């Protein structure tokens, strides 16, 4: 991010960690806002060996910032608590609130980048949503941890420090929304949680990471080839809600009743976590086609965990779209946004090809 350069350089120690004055800083460090949403990075337990039964979203932003005073030497850091929840409880209202606040802050001259602390369970969904709706090329870095703040060898503090470093690096501009854990910089479009409990859980198996933080340096090697941030056509500034999109999982012996139930409950779109290359059983196909006739958009993704769901010649006849390499939970994010623009199947397919 563009660091303000002035002739009067204030030593880093003169900055306050949580500056609520909203005045531009006068040193040459980048101004980074941390928006806190909860998760394990803000998790707490009475037992320091507890890595599973702790309370996620227990500690506030002040505590997280005060735990890493080293950030003062790399940025002017201030924080805001947006919500404080485990990430399974991040919902559409929170997504909209977070994205609007992010855009508001990025529009200001005295904000050079944003770091968002978040639970890891649904981190990739929030990161991808922001990737599609942030309308600035300033860095946005989403960070989490797998061990609560109270654990031996908690991974949160260093992840947070590195996230601030990445958010303050000029090379991070225009890279789309980034995800930082374990010294790796991932693209929101590609990265996913691959292990339920391991610290090195965030991977981009097919596409790779964009870069890494090693020592004092931020390194980039790749760029996301999909449209994001300033190139994205999605605008959430006037939205107060997002359309209901549900995910249905394929398995042997399934029935169409889940499709009927989703439609009855108000789904405007259904993402199918299909088997293999986005396959649906005959009974699911019946349910999906019946939903399609009622105007519900059906998007074929895959339960496999990696790979592309390729377009099928049968899609046009059934009014289905295919989701490229987006996993079901990210396909749901894109389909919600697509449905704010159009219900045309061809147009929605083109969004899945481009974003």
Ligand X SMILES: NC(=O)C[C@H](N)C(=O)O
Catalytic residue numbers, as ranges: 40, 120
Closest CA to 113 of 86, 133, 94, 140: 140
- Name residue 179's beta-bridge partners: 142, 186
List the helix and strand counts (H, then E) for the chain: 9, 14
- Residue in the block written with tokens 């061809």: 346
Q: List all residues 6 or more positions away from 217 whose beta carbon is below 8 Å from its beta carbon.
A: none
Using rule CB under 6 A, residue 144 touches ligand X? yes
Full 3-state SS string of 140-157:
EEEECCCCCCCCCCCCHH
Using rule CB under 6 A, residue 146 touches ligand X? yes
Closest approach, Cβ 211 to ligand X, in A, equals 22
Using rule CB under 6 A, residue 95 touches ligand X? no
Closest approach, Cβ 155 to ligand X, in A, equals 9
- Residue in the block written with tokens 């947006």: 82
Using rule CB under 6 A, residue 87 touches ligand X? yes
Interaction with ligand X in 163-202: which residues (CB under 6 A)? none
Among the candidate windows 5-13, 116-124, 242-250, 278-286, which touches ligand X by CB under 6 A?
116-124
How many whole angstroms separate alpha carbon 270 and alpha carbon 355?
18
Among the candidate windows 4-12, 105-113, 119-127, 260-268, which touches ligand X by CB under 6 A?
119-127
Closest approach, Cβ 119 to ligand X, in A, equals 2
Binding site: residue ranges? 87, 120-121
Q: Which residue is nearest to ligand X (CB)?
A: 119
Using rule CB under 6 A, residue 39 touches ligand X? yes
CB atoms closer than 10 angstroms to residue 295: 11
> Under rule CB under 6 A, how many of the chain's residues touch ligand X?
10
- Name residue 220's beta-bridge partners: 211
Closest approach, Cβ 87 to ligand X, in A, equals 3
Q: List all residues 6 or more positions away from 235 whose beta carbon is below 8 Å from its beta carbon.
A: 133, 135
Out of 40, 45, 78, 281, the only residue in the binding site for ligand X (CB under 6 A) is 40
Catalog residues that contact ligand X under the rule CB under 6 A. 39-40, 56, 86-87, 119-121, 144, 146
């Amino acid at each position: 991010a563009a660091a303000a350069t002035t002739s009067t350089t204030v030593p880093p120690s003169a900055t306050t960690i949580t500056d609520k004055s909203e005045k531009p800083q006068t040193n040459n460090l980048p101004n980074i806002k941390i928006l806190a949403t909860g998760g394990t990075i803000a998790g707490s337990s009475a037992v320091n060996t507890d890595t599973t039964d702790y309370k996620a979203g227990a500690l506030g932003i002040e505590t997280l910032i005060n735990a890493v005073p080293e950030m003062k030497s790399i940025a002017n850091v201030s924080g805001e608590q947006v919500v404080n929840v485990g990430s399974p409880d991040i919902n559409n209202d929170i997504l909209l609130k977070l994205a609007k606040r992010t855009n508001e802050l990025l529009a200001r001259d005295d904000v050079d980048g944003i770091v968002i602390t978040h639970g890891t369970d649904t981190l990739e969904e929030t990161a991808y949503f922001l990737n599609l709706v942030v309308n600035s090329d300033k860095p946005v870095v989403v960070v989490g941890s797998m061990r609560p703040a109270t654990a031996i060898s908690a991974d949160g503090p260093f992840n947070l420090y590195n996230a601030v470093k990445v958010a303050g690096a000029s090379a991070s501009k225009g890279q789309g929304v980034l995800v930082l854990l374990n010294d790796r910089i991932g693209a929101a479009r590609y990265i996913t949680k691959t292990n339920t409990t391991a610290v090195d859980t965030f991977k981009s198996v097919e596409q790779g990471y964009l870069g890494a933080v090693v020592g004092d340096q931020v390194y980039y090697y790749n760029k996301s080839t999909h449209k994001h941030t300033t190139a994205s056509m999605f605008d959430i500034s006037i939205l107060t809600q997002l359309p209901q999109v549900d995910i249905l999982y394929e398995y042997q012996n399934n029935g169409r009743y889940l499709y009927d139930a989703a439609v009855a409950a108000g789904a405007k779109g259904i993402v199918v976590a299909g088997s293999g290359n986005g396959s649906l059983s005959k009974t699911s196909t019946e349910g999906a086609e019946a939903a399609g006739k009622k105007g519900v958009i059906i998007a074929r993704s895959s339960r496999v965990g990696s790979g592309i769901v390729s377009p099928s010649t049968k899609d046009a006849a059934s009014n289905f779209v295919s989701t490229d390499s987006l996993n079901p939970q990210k396909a749901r994010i894109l389909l919600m946004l697509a449905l704010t623009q159009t219900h045309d199947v061809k147009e929605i397919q083109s969004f899945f090809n481009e974003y």
